[in-house]
Amino acid sequence: MDLNPDAQVDTSQIEDQRGSGGRGGGLGGMIPIGGGGGRGGLIGLVVTVVLVLLGGGFGASQLLGGGGGGGQTDNGNLNQECSSANPNRLQNLDCRNALYVNSIQNFWQGELPQAFGQQYRPADTVFFAQQTNTGCGPADSGMGPFYCPPDTKVYIDLTFYKELTDRFGAKGEFAQPYVLAHEYGHHVQDLVGTEAKMRQAQQRDPGNANRYSVALGLQADCYSGV
């Protein structure tokens, strides 16, 4: 995978909620989403499909340690490390992921009007550490990256990539943009109404709720491939 060495990283599409580290703790008494209450609507990653498509050898050396806290956005560090003044910005995990988000959204900006006859609406990606609050309720890193329709944001703890490498053996360099593109696929499904239709189908036909949800995930994989 090649990155344009002159690429400008637009960090305005990222909300960095990781804080400056050392905040620790954060929200107590987390209730994992998907297990009961909350507003539902949380759409996670279909890891198995990712694994089929990946290969290669992007090391895990640049992965972050995670700093705790969450909720407050402060892009100060991100802006600095990803500025064009930093010649090594594309070796930086944060900046690469911000660039993937830019690239994915840039694609849909052009493609959505052609494919679906409607304008694309940008969605931010939130970098969080360990846990955060979302429009879908409290979330933690164990849930993996997800898209939250009520607040139209993608959430990711970048340490997920370490798990992807270590636990699932998905070491390929393309794993990271693929994960983000999958979540933006869910955003597209939200924009064009597929997600709402899926929810309606689940209510009409609860016995097949899981099948509908899997189909939505597979379509998001398709959009990721696109």
Residue range at the interface with Zn ion (CB under 5 A); choices 13-21, 100-108, 156-164, 210-218 = 210-218
Tell me how far, at minimum, the Cβ of 73 lies from Zn ion, in Å.
24
Tell me how far, at minimum, the Cβ of 40 lies from Zn ion, in Å.
14
Residue range at the interface with Zn ion (CB under 5 A); choices 5-13, 77-85, 199-207, 216-224 = 216-224
Tell me how far, at minimum, the Cβ of 137 lies from Zn ion, in Å.
17
Tell me how far, at minimum, the Cβ of 185 lies from Zn ion, in Å.
7
Of the two residues 33 and 43, which places its CB atom closer to Zn ion in the complex?
43
Of the two residues 43 and 136, which places its CB atom closer to Zn ion in the complex?
43
Query: For 11-159, where are the alpha helices, taking DSSP H only?
Result: 47-53, 76-81, 93-116
What string marks each residue from 39 to 58 as x (binds Zn ion by CB under 5 A) or -?
----x---------------
Residue nearest to Zn ion (CB): 217
Alpha carbon 217 to its chain's center: 14
Of the two residues 110 and 214, which places its CB atom closer to Zn ion in the complex?
214
Residue range at the interface with Zn ion (CB under 5 A); choices 67-75, 134-142, 154-162, 213-221 = 213-221
Long-range Cβ contacts of 161-167 (<8 Å, 24+ apart): 161/60, 161/63, 161/93, 162/60, 162/63, 164/47, 164/50, 165/58, 165/60, 166/60
Q: Cβ neighbours of residue 199 under 8 Å, at least 6 residues apart?
A: 41
* Sheet with 146-148: strands ordered across: 14-16, 125-127, 153-156, 146-148, 43-44
Of the two residues 89 and 153, which places its CB atom closer to Zn ion in the complex?
153
Please classify residue 203 by burial: count the beta carbons closer than 10 Å to its beta carbon, then call 0-12 exposed, 13-18 middle and 19+ buried. Answer: exposed
Region of 132 please: left (phi>0), alpha (psi -120 to 50) or beta: beta
CA atoms in the 13 A half-sphere facing the CB of 176: 25
Of the two residues 31 and 222, which places its CB atom closer to Zn ion in the complex?
222
Tell me how far, at minimum, the Cβ of 12 lies from Zn ion, in Å.
25
Query: For the chain, where are the alpha helices, taking DSSP H only?
Result: 47-53, 76-81, 93-116, 160-166, 175-192, 194-204, 209-225
Q: Is 217 in the site for Zn ion (CB under 5 A)?
A: yes
Tell me how far, at minimum, the Cβ of 187 lies from Zn ion, in Å.
11
Q: Is 144 in the site for Zn ion (CB under 5 A)?
A: no
Exactly one of 69, 220, 223, 224 binds Zn ion (CB under 5 A); that residue is 220
Say if residues 100 and 130 touch (Cβ distance below 8 Å): no
**Residues of this chain that bind Zn ion (CB under 5 A):** 43, 217, 220
